[in-house]
Amino acid sequence: MATLKLSNVKKRFGKTEVIHGVDIDIADGEFIVIVGPSGCGKSTLLRMVAGLETVTGGDIEISGKRVNDLEPMDRDIAMVFQNYALYPHMNVFDNISYGLKIAKVPKDEIASRVATAAKMLQLEDYLLRKPRELSGGQRQRVAMGRAIVRKPAVFLFDEPLSNLDAKLRVQMRLEIKALQKELGITSVYVTHDQVEAMTLADRMIVMHDGVADQIGAPLEVYANPATQFVAGFIGSPA
């Protein structure tokens, strides 16, 4: 169970402000998609939530607790990236369980969590394989598995499917959505792909030059764009 709240969140790199005060209130179990063109600040915003970038203005709260100054490890968050950075020399089981070993989770607990995740992700028959012996979709599932076994309060996804071909992207998109619903984990998903945003989101946030132009259910945003930018961006899929 977790809520996520951003209040007037800002980010400055040197003298340049790239996030200009974003407010988002995310309900427990909600799947939020942040969509916008390259360079608008999506990754920076997500990295601040993860604790990988400092926050230079405003507050980030998880379940009512201010986390601005917490280390990434202490935020109860798991992040899935576009370059999922599996360890090439480790098999699937070891890749999925690596974080749990570091956290000193007992061995039998690790085995049972990996088994559950592998079943959900259809990786049961691949646990002893190395990443190079897997397809792109399977590698992406391993990255998902690594996030799932940690049982985080919040999932963050940064363009996790953009390295996959179009057909696989559609399939994995559906899998991620089904999995998120099954687990009920509050999720923030970043993409530049309008169709992906429309398909996945409970609510979507359309970002433009460091500002959240509009927040709403996909069809609501599509039917009633709040700005000229939203009208153009959501109305004309790439």
Among 1, 15, 38, 132, binds ligand ADP (CB under 6 A): 38
For the chain, strand residue ranges (E) read 4-13, 16-26, 31-35, 57-62, 65-66, 77-80, 154-158, 186-191, 203-208, 211-216
Residue 43 interacting with Mg ion (CB under 5 A): yes
The site that binds Mg ion (CB under 5 A) totals a number of residues, namely 1
Among 18, 168, 195, 211, binds ligand ADP (CB under 6 A): 18
Nearest CA-CA partner of 77 in 111, 103, 97, 51: 51
Print burial letters for 46-85: b (CB count within 10 Å at least 16), e (below 16).
Answer: bbbbbbebebeebebebeeeebeeeeeeebbbbbbebebe
Q: Which two tokens stand for residue 184?
A: 């009920």
In the bound state, the residue with its beta carbon closest to Mg ion is 43
Nearest residue (CB) to ligand ADP, 39 versus 232: 39
Among 4, 24, 40, 123, binds ligand ADP (CB under 6 A): 40
Q: Per CB under 6 A, which of residues 42..81 are in contact with ligand ADP?
A: 42-44
Residue 13 interacting with ligand ADP (CB under 6 A): yes
Q: Rounded to the nearest whole angstrom, what is the least distance from the CB of residue 25 to ligand ADP in the complex? A: 21
Nearest residue (CB) to ligand ADP, 43 versus 95: 43
Q: Which two tokens stand for residue 228?
A: 């000229």
187, 25 Cβ separation under 8 angstroms: no
Distances from the Cα of 43 to the Cαs of 11, 190, 224, in angstroms?
Answer: 12, 7, 26
The site that binds ligand ADP (CB under 6 A) totals a number of residues, namely 10
Residue 134 interacting with ligand ADP (CB under 6 A): no
Please choose which of Mg ion, ligand ADP, none residue 87 contacts, taking the beta carbon within 5 to 8 angstroms, the exact cut-off set by kind. Answer: none
> H or E segment at 174?
helix 166-183
- Interface stretch with ligand ADP, choices 32-40, 68-76, 99-107, 160-168 (CB under 6 A): 32-40
Virtual torsion, Cα 99, 101, 102, 104, nearest 10 deg:
130
Q: Rounded to the nearest whole angstrom, what is the least distance from the CB of residue 188 to ligand ADP in the complex? A: 13
Can you give the binding site for Mg ion, defined by CB under 5 A? 43
Can you give the binding site for ligand ADP, defined by CB under 6 A? 13, 18, 36, 38-44
